[in-house]
Amino acid sequence: MESSYVRRGFALAVTATMALAACTQQPAASPAPSASATPVAQRGAGGELKILYWQAPTILNAHQATGTKDNDASRLVLEPLASWDKNGQALANGLAAEIPTVANGGVAKDFTSVTWKLRTGVKWSDGTPFTADDVVGTYTYMCDEKTAASTVDVCEGVKSVTAKDPNTAVVTYSPAQPFYFQWGVGFNTPIIQKAQYANCLGVKAKDCPADLKPIGTGPYKVNTFKPGDVVQYDLNENFRDPNKPFFKTVTLKGGGDAASAARAVFQTGDVDYAWNLQVEASVLKPMAASSTTGRLLTSYASSVERLLVNFSNPDASLGDKRGEPDTKHPFFTDIHVRRALAMATDRASVASQLYGDGLTGKATCNILTAPTAMESKNSDSFDICKFDLNAANKELDDAGWAKGSDNVRAKGGQKLKILYQTTVNSVRQSTQAIMKSNWEKVGFQVELKSVPASTFFTNTSPDGANHFWADVEMFTNSGDPNPTGYFRGWTCKTATGKANNWNGSNYNRYCNPDFDKVVDQMAVEADQAKLAQLAIQANDILIKDVVIIPLINRVAPTPDGVSKALKGIDVSGWDSVMYNIADWSK
């Protein structure tokens, strides 16, 4: 993604059993440390670490983020209780002293509660002690609907979070939650300081000053932040590991474009890490292959570039009702129009021409592509997954949408005029051009719109992805090892709008009670084989109903470039790429 419910995945080259392990009843209590976890020789010895995100961060509170750029920028400062490692296992590199399991008594046998033992002696970057009250305060902040947190989906079914004592927090679920790491693990649950956010609860959360300079427990603290430009971090002298972090300062620069970011890591060596190198494969491959300074990071998980179809009415003439969930789109309410759009979508050409047929992405018609056991095989037989202009034309003919003298189809005075938006990026603009050409051949009129990423992935701009004041939009995201929370992003109650400050995860404003029932079943299903079947069912409903049109299973979360001198990177497909930045060194 880029979009934050992100989020995400660098990859799983693991078996289905390993990928599902995070959801089983007894995950590994202490996953074996990777080579990246080797202590560095001296804290701060590394000087400056230079990171380039051409999509510049605009906020440093992940609970209010709408983009990966913001999530990652905040992760240097804010930590969850635990992280997701590359195998989808909960990893104790955060604020928890150990990973709770049924075996060690941390997880109730009926899956109704999780007891988290916290690290002792941890301090916030301002020197004050971290306690279980901060965990409770985070729950109070993010799970209050009035806060309109972008992470509120993980609060579903969480009855309470309480402090048993200063070093123990208890998460209680109702009903029982087989995916008991829903709250507390990964990029969706960073722990914020209760004292700093005491005056930013509920409706006061909007425009909170703390969002621009949060106090954290992570390896770094914010020195200066210029939203949409640059974040300067200093080493957190109160970080719990006396040997970490290796780098004294970090500069996370925003701006430019993907191509210039690629040149900065592969040709000039100006940066140590360049994120999201969404550059045409014909340009990126030789650049990386000939580089003496950098190497390309690529692998697959469930990061899917998709087209979102708007089910609400984005017409500006509606005023305050524009794009609200209770409005209806003027022509996408007709499933025949949505089906024709899907049939006229040539994902194979996008994959071959722009993503190198596997170098940085491959064609897919599924919205869930990992874990492997949960990927649908049914979509291969769906007619809407096959590029067929003749079938698309027939679909519209049969539904009564007739072409006029301008070659644009209309019915009852309503023309098929599409505004199609995405971020400013050469690969995405090329993708738009391919779509426009084919869609216009079947009678759509298509207007293309390109929005700077710093604007597209915010909740404050009418051009933002979550406002979705267009007919079709395009970006990438993915979810946790258990896809229940990911699929909640298309349930009726998560529809974005003014009521939740445009932070709802259901940008489409799609509402299907039958789909919601499947997701509700997923939330209480402990049997992994049955959960996989429910996930496949949820995927197939969204595809057949043409809520989204998946295009490309991208390398996850993005193809990144890293200096050949940089060590310790152990990117996870299920968490922020910055989840182990304390271990990075040269």
Rounded to whole angstroms, what are the CA distances from 33 to 40, 42, 194, 386, 564? 14, 20, 31, 44, 22
Q: In a 10 Å sphere around its CB, with 0-12 CB exposed, 13-18 middle and 19+ buried, how is residue 41 labelled?
A: exposed
Residue 323 CB partners (closer than 8 Å, separation 6+): 310, 312, 313, 314, 467, 468, 469, 497, 509
Residue with tokens 């992405």: 361
For the chain, residues with pLDDT lower than 50 are 1, 3-40
Q: Specify the DSSP class assigned to residue 332.
A: T
Write the DSSP string, 97-162.
Answer: SS---TTTTSB-TTSSEEEEEBPSS-B-TTSPBP-HHHHHHHHHHHT-GGG--TTGGGGTTEEEEE
Per-residue confidence (pLDDT) for residue 88, from 0 to 100 = 84
Q: How far apart are CA 301 and CA 311, in angstroms?
A: 28
Q: How far apart are CA 555 and CA 304, in angstroms?
A: 9
The answer to whether 480 and 574 are in contact (CB under 8 A) is yes
Residue with tokens 């004292």: 195
> Which DSSP helix (H) or strand (E) runs through 562?
strand 560-563
- Name the pTM for this structure: 0.76
Rounded to whole angstroms, what are the CA distances from 185 to 110, 114, 123, 345, 561? 20, 12, 20, 37, 26
CATH class of 16-254+559-583: alpha beta
* Residue extents of the structural domains in the chain: 16-254+559-583, 300-555
**Fold of the domain built from segment(s) 300-555:** Dipeptide-binding Protein; domain 3 (3.10.105)
**Whether the bond into 175 is cis, omega within 30 of 0:** yes
Tokens of 288: 């990386």
Q: How far apart are CA 448 and CA 433, in angstroms?
A: 8
Per-residue confidence (pLDDT) for residue 20, from 0 to 100 = 35
Per-residue confidence (pLDDT) for residue 574, from 0 to 100 = 84
Q: Is the dihedral of CA 462, 465, 468, 474 positive or negative?
A: positive
Residue with tokens 């109070």: 140
**Whether the bond into 245 is cis, omega within 30 of 0:** yes
Q: What is the dihedral of CA 136, 137, 140, 143, to 10 degrees?
A: -80
Helices (H), 221-359: 258-266, 281-289, 335-343, 347-354
Of 453, 462, 404, the residue nearest 427 (C-alpha): 453
